[in-house]
Amino acid sequence: MLDSKIIEIDGIFLGTAIQVKGLGGRRFYAAHESVRALHNAVKPDLAVMAQLVASQFRKSRIEHLAA
């Protein structure tokens, strides 16, 4: 089984970053609607992936509050 890491913010499970076999990097499996646009995105490492997911989540949260 490949390595995977949970990505969550403020106790909210957003998805999982799954190690990509052979290529390196991480593929994102989105579990939360606010980050669905990033589903299957591949980034070079966990830190980059987590930062991107967090940014998308916060942007979505702000847009939702402004509506």
Collect all residues with Cβ–Cβ distance below 8 Å to 6 and sequence separation of at least 6: 13, 15, 16
Tokens at 18, concatenated: 């799954």
For 11-29, what is each residue's pLDDT tens digit?
Answer: 999 999 999 987 789 999 9
pTM of the shown model:
0.88
3-state secondary structure of 4: strand
Whether pLDDT at 1 is above 60: no
Among candidates 20, 12, 11, 10, which has minimal Cα distance to 49? 20
For 33-53, what is each residue's pLDDT tens digit?
Answer: 999 999 999 999 999 999 999
Structure confidence at residue 57 (pLDDT): 97
